[in-house]
A and B are shown apart, each in its own frame.
Chain A
Amino acid sequence: MADLLVAPVLWPLVTAIVLLSLGGRPGVQRLVSLVSQACLLAVAVALAVAVKDGTVLVHRLGGWPAPFGIVLVADRLTAVMLLLTAVTGLAVLLYEAAAPDRELERLPFFPLFHFLLMGLDGAFVTGDLFNLFVFFEVLLIASYALATLGASARQLRAGLQFVVLNLLSSALFLFGVGTLYGLTGTLNLADLAGKVEALGSADAGLLRVAMMSLLVVFAAKAALIPLAFWLPDTYPAPSPVVSAMFGGIATKVGVYALLRVFTTVFDSVRGPGAEVLLVLGIVSMLVGVLGAVAQTELRRLLSFHIVSQIGYLVFGIGLFTIAGVGAAIFYMVHYTIVKCALFLLSGSAERLGGARDLKQLGGLAHQSPALAALFFVGAISLAGLPPTSGFMSKAFLASAAIADGQWVGVVVIFAAGLLTLFSMTKIWTMAFWGEPPHAAPQHAPVGMLWAAALLVSFSMTLALAADPLFRFTQATATQLLDRTGYVAAVLAPGARP
């Protein structure tokens, strides 16, 4: 079973190479992409079933035992992330297949998309800090190219900023990794866990430098205020399918890395880091949503919401209690699905209304009631109104914050939720109500709503099945916060084949 762990990395790579050779034949590319992504979803489900009971799957590449060889590891959190990646990837590809963007398909969109998936999945399964860096670079170079695909002036300007910021944070990542390696002589996450704990007080200062550099890096990748201002420029610039993939899953890698490294490596010394995370989380929740309220461009508004929602996740993680981390993981599942759906729906809205800006849209509810209904459900779920999955996530997060005595956080959770609702109402009244400003409404393929409908119904299922999912995310948090199982599984002497 553990050998299946190479599939999430190798499979997208093979697919991308095959797709490169199919350039200029978009129909075949679409089909190959969809089939490959469906297989990847099946692999993710199989892995999730295998780790559901708390097993930690470890694949030792080449049979070399850790910490000398490279390991791929899957625990519950990895399984959740792989599943989310597979589901959002499949939805985005379905959308693209139902309503092909000809402009995009003339360019190597499909191969780049699968390279992005490879980087994402690789970052989720790796058990080694340096490989985490490498997979970050794989996913970043793919996302640089995806973000600037089409090379409009706007994409190029935003892309330059995106690339420079990420290169700088990659350099800082290597500073952190180098410092940790100099201190401990290892980069295997499980091995680091023990070595970091055994460090004397003489090295405490350097260790904190390494920890804080990694915190800054992951905060920049996850787009936390004050390192988030690249995001609202970069994400709305490319095609809606690319926005949906970025907004759905790409920023979550930073959150995942934060969670993984701070629970495994820095378990014993993360105190000051946790405080910083709480503050950054609270500030991001508020600043992100305030930024969103001021926007009139549909996808730019949604991009500001990403910053706010990442704040919720990081706040939950910063609590470092089972309830807090569990609520954050629950929130991540809900929010990845809903965000991806909203981006896809705003892509449909833009195509239907023929404009990106809310001021030039209107009367969409009249033109396409199905689109309006789906957007409505997604929007109230993002704002956190009952009975949606968004309400459940916010409730769990708030109760975790109350249990920890974080009253400022509790107030901000609800205040930011209210402002989210306000900005969603703004989209609703400006884009969906009123009269369409164009005399002849454009026609959009009905099929493109199916992908978003799939995600929205998935989100509604989450609300209905909140209890089992809640127990599963709590179990995930328990496994993360007690790293002994992870460490023992990785460092177990594996026989060379």
Chain B
Amino acid sequence: MELLVAIAIGSLVAAGVFLILRPTGFPVVLGLALVSHAVNLLLVSMGRVRLGSPPLVADGTTATADPLAQALVLTAIVISFGMTAFLLVLAYRGYQRAGTESVDLEIEHG
């Protein structure tokens, strides 16, 4: 199980980094989304990977998951959702203004 999660995180980061290195806007946004998914998985698994254990303590429960890690992930998901939305708007406005999707920065100074 741990190995599976580790491989998933690794592949997500690899794919994300590959996309971020693309020269156009939309793949970069997708790449960032993939990297933030990887981070979220990492955060959950840092509360230890356990199957079938809810983060609640009731009478007779023996195994519980770490609730803090899940709370952290919830916050991280909300933040990365908001940021991605903002980034999409920004990329779209940039595309409208400049007429190109390229993220290369060629600002005419002065």
Residues of chain A at the chain B interface (Cβ within 8 Å): 130, 134, 137, 141, 144-145, 148, 151-154, 156-161, 163-164, 167-168, 170-171, 174-175, 177-179, 181-182, 233, 296-297, 300, 356-357, 359-360
Contact = CB atoms under 8 A, between A and B. Distances in A.
B98 interface: yes
B97 to A, nearest CB: 4
B93 A156 contact: yes
Contacts of A168: 20, 32, 35
B2 to A, nearest CB: 12
User: Interface majority SS on A: helix, strand, loop or mixed?
Assistant: helix
Contacts of B65: none
Interface residues of B, number: 36
Interface in B54-110: 68-69, 72, 75-76, 79-80, 82-83, 86-87, 90-91, 93-94, 97-98, 103, 105, 107-110
B110 A356 contact: yes
3 closest A-B pairs by CB: A182-B46, A357-B110, A156-B94
A213 to B, nearest CB: 11
A158 B83 CA distance: 16
A159 B32 contact: no
Given A168-B32, A181-B46, A182-B46, A300 B83 contact: no
B94 to A, nearest CB: 4
A361 to B, nearest CB: 11
B42 interface: yes
Contacts of A170: 79-80, 83
Contact of B105 (A145, A177, A233): A233
B46 A164 contact: no
A161 B105 contact: yes
A157 B86 contact: no
B17 to A, nearest CB: 9
Contacts of A159: 90, 94
B91 A160 contact: yes
B109 A300 contact: yes
Interface in B10-57: 20, 25, 28, 32, 35-36, 38-39, 42-43, 45-47
A354 to B, nearest CB: 13
B109 A157 contact: no
Contact of A179 (B46, B68, B93): B46
A163 B87 contact: yes
A296 B107 contact: no
Contact of A134 (B35, B39, B79): B79
Given A156-B98, A167-B83, A178 B109 contact: no
Contacts of B69: 181
Contacts of A297: 109-110
A158 B105 contact: yes
B110 A359 contact: yes
B79 to A, nearest CB: 5
B46 A157 contact: no
A376 to B, nearest CB: 24
B39 A163 contact: no
13 contacts: A145-B86, A156-B97, A157-B107, A161-B105, A167-B80, A168-B20, A170-B80, A171-B32, A181-B43, A181-B46, A233-B105, A297-B109, A297-B110
A161 B32 contact: no
Contacts of B25: 160
B65 to A, nearest CB: 13
Contacts of B32: 164, 167-168, 171
Contact of B36 (A148, A157, A163, A171): A171
B103 A161 contact: yes
B67 to A, nearest CB: 12
B87 A164 contact: yes
A179 B97 CA distance: 41
B92 to A, nearest CB: 10
Contacts of B42: 174-175, 178-179
Nearest to A358: B110
Interface-centre pick from A144, A157, A163 (highest chain B CB count, 10 A): A157
Given A157-B107, A174-B42, A163 B20 contact: no
A141 B83 contact: yes
Contacts of A182: 45-46
